[in-house]
Amino acid sequence: MTTLLDQLRQRRDTARQSAEQILTRAADEQRDLTADELAEHRQHVTAEREAADEADRIRDEQIAELRATAARRTGPPAPRGPVLTRESRTSRTGPAPAA
């Protein structure tokens, strides 16, 4: 299943390749871009930028949602390893000496 981010990346890559093809063709022919080529190149660059900006915006929203989800968790955080509690300490060493 193709995600929206994948679609935007594909659109960005396609626009970039199209813009590069215009530049390459003119360079191969050792000439400047014509007015039509310049306008077309500008359109591709704009499309690339818009797709990249939209992908960045969506990625930022996803990151914010992940952070918000982590912040909304209730209860104590799950321990990452063994936790030494007073009860487990006294059970291994016996009762504390009387003062």
- pLDDT tens for 12-40 read 999 999 999 999 999 999 999 999 999 99
Residue 18 within a domain: yes
- The pTM of the full predicted model, rounded to 2 decimals, is 0.65
Residue 82 within a domain: no
What is the C-alpha to C-alpha distance for residues 22 and 12, in angstroms, rounded to an integer? 16
Residue 16 within a domain: yes
Residue 87 within a domain: no
Domains: count for the chain? 1
Residue 26 within a domain: yes
Residue 68 within a domain: yes
Inform me whether the pLDDT recorded for 73 exceeds 90: no
Write out the residue range of the structural domain in which residue 54 sits: 4-73
Angle made by CA atoms 82, 87, 88, in degrees to the nearest 5: 40
